[in-house]
Structure 1
Amino acid sequence: MAPDSKDQANRNTAKGLIAMQLTLTDRFWRAMARYVDRTALRLIPSQPILRKLFSMTAPLGAALPKGASVTKQADGSLHILPAGVAPDAPVLLYLHGGGFTIGSPQTHAALVAHLAAACGLRAVVPKYRLAPEHPFPAAKQDAIAAFDALVQAGTPPVAICGDSAGGCLALQVACHARDRNAPTPKALGLLAPIADLSGEVEARFAEAEDEILIPPSWPERIKDVYLPGMDRDSAAISPLSGDLSNLPPTLIQAATGEALAQDAKRLLDAMDDATLDLWPGLPHVWQLHAGRTPAADAAIAKMGAFLAAKVA
């Protein structure tokens, strides 16, 4: 990133650090993340059980925008068409998060529907294989296959987005498009992306005193089931270990005090055209509460405006 661009990005980051007034609704869901969700992640060792719990609870914390059409495809993916968006509008490819072990297109449907509405695109949310049943590289292969299928269908994504593990996959898909000379997206949107799985990941979470949601035992478990015995320094696994140049303009959102804010800050330096948008006092991927909390809706509106400006 050029010095002037870095200065502007730093100013944007500083603006994001200004304390925001959280509503009672925002505070309620923050407390749920701190005392209920974090406890479940710490105490329940089974990823399949956590997957089932998340599939039941995630829809309760979000609400689809009015008039959005959500269609499940035979392959398990969701096609989302917001109200007022043409059926042949350009495509947003969204890769859901969940530590490569939980989550689904359905758990993220409201988030993606609000984001698609905010940027005026239709969205595709692919289903990808999850660990421990399917360790690396299954998720990455499926994400790339979803991108390639859209390209082959004549509808290459104009934007690729993802949260947490999905943010890692979004970076990997964007690098795939760049390296294969495929049609490249015009913008990336990353919500607290995982970008470095090397080293003592659990220690980085333990040292993040303001991490609201994720206990240190969670990344250790992910490491064991998603990357058993693998070289986590590899660029194929950790995007920050590879070449992140010549990627599309990118907006990265994260909570100020969360552990993955470290990855977000390092991505700002590693990418040519990235902007970091930090939000204080919120849990990891608070945007999942789209349609329910002002903080989620405000962040999605900001991400949507960024994407709309880049794909226009």
Structure 2
Amino acid sequence: MKPLSLADRFFVLQARTLERAALRFVAPQRILRVLFALIARIGGRLPRGMIPIRDRHGALWFRPDAVARDAPVILYIHGGGFTIGGPRTHAALVGALAKAAGMRAVAASYRLAPEHPFPAARDDAIATYARLVEAGTPPIAIAGDSAGGCLSLSVLQHARDMGWPLPKAACLIAPIGDLSGSVEARFGEAENEILIPPQWPARIREVYLRGLDPTAPEISPLLGDLSGLPPTLIQAATGEALAQDSARIVAAMDDATLDLWPGLQHVWHLHAGRAPVADRAIAQLADFIKSHA
């Protein structure tokens, strides 16, 4: 791995101090949504000339220059602990992935907790996939980060069980696989976790599940059947808490690879267009998708 640039190191420091403190001490999700939106707007940059288009379902569509209007589609499901984030916060990441792959991409919109607890997010993600299938454009690949990685796995399991066309590849960034057990302890024990404090996952599980059984496969896809899914590449930061889930997911799948990056924060890809290490990681995801298209 190349040495981190000054910009890369700046965003690591920002995650370790400002962002981690916000996730630890700020409980209201509405405030965190505003903070996340501001950080995302400043911290990432869309490819030059790319203007996302919002559809009537709230999803954002990305089409790089010189890419055909009927080019294959990558479905991206954003993270944010099921409580914050949206297509706009992940626009730089998704736009960069579309450009690097030379394909179209759509960033799904889904309802957030605590206003809309489980199964709202899962239902909306599945509905987005179903609309693509019904339109005759099933996604060539599905991708997602953190909570979005969890939803991506759940969508794949549902599509497989329903007999829908499956993508040719999946790309996940530090996905949540298992919401059972003591999530607070797992994050507290991860000594190299730069971004997420133990209080954050404990808090989001409470508002997202509202007392539901976290061992249900629809909630924790790692506790369900992960066989028969497309080839998958998972990227995560070495030593982050969700690298553990990532390793367990890889072990449970038929064809999956874990790619660990040292010294970085959870989902560093959000700084696409401004942090060279984010652009390199996204380029590898794009290469994986193209190699299976």
8 A contact 1:250–1:275 mirrored in 2: yes
Tell me the SS of whatever aligns to 1:251: strand
- Please name the residue that 2:180 is paired with: 198
Are 1:112 and 2:94 matched, yes or no? yes
Per the TM alignment, residue 20 of structure 1 is displaced from its structure 2 partner at its CA by 4.1
1:174 to 145, 153, 156: 156
Q: Structure 2-normalised TM-score?
A: 0.99
Tell me the SS of whatever aligns to 2:171: strand
- For 1:209 and 1:63, locate their aligned partners in 2 and report how far apart those are by CA, in whole Å: 30
1:284 to 238, 246, 266: 266
Q: Structure 2: which 5+ runs fail to align?
A: none
8 A contact 1:161–1:188 mirrored in 2: yes
Offset from partner CA, 1:275-305 (integer Å, 9 cap, x none): 1100000000000000001110000001100
2:109 to 122, 127, 138: 127
- For 2:58 and 2:218, locate their aligned partners in 1 and report how far apart those are by CA, in whole Å: 26
Q: CA RMSD in A?
A: 0.8
Q: Structure 1-normalised TM-score?
A: 0.93
- Please name the residue that 2:247 is paired with: 265
- For 2:2 and 2:241, locate their aligned partners in 1 and report how far apart those are by CA, in whole Å: 20
> What stretches of structure 1 move > 4 A for 4+ residues in a row?
none
- For 2:219 and 2:269, locate their aligned partners in 1 and report how far apart those are by CA, in whole Å: 25
Are 1:81 and 2:63 matched, yes or no? yes
- Please name the residue that 1:65 is paired with: 47
- For 1:164 and 1:85, locate their aligned partners in 2 and report how far apart those are by CA, in whole Å: 28
- For 1:255 and 1:29, locate their aligned partners in 2 and report how far apart those are by CA, in whole Å: 14
Tell me the SS of whatever aligns to 1:92: strand
1:143-158 matches, cutoff 5 A? 143-158=125-140
Tell me the SS of whatever aligns to 1:171: helix
- For 1:258 and 1:130, locate their aligned partners in 2 and report how far apart those are by CA, in whole Å: 24
- Please name the residue that 1:160 is paired with: 142
Per the TM alignment, residue 120 of structure 1 is displaced from its structure 2 partner at its CA by 1.5
Q: Structure 1: which 5+ runs fail to align?
A: 1-18
2:47 alignment partner AA: P
Are 1:35 and 2:11 matched, yes or no? no
Are 1:300 and 2:282 matched, yes or no? yes
* Aligned residue-pair number: 293
- Please name the residue that 1:237 is paired with: 219
Aligned-residue identity in percent: 62
Are 1:246 and 2:228 matched, yes or no? yes
Offset from partner CA, 1:75-109 (integer Å, 9 cap, x none): 21101101221111011100000000000100001
Per the TM alignment, residue 119 of structure 1 is displaced from its structure 2 partner at its CA by 1.2
1:256 to 229, 238, 258: 238
- Please name the residue that 2:202 is paired with: 220
- For 2:36 and 2:174, locate their aligned partners in 1 and report how far apart those are by CA, in whole Å: 19
8 A contact 1:20–1:280 mirrored in 2: no
Per the TM alignment, residue 228 of structure 1 is displaced from its structure 2 partner at its CA by 1.2
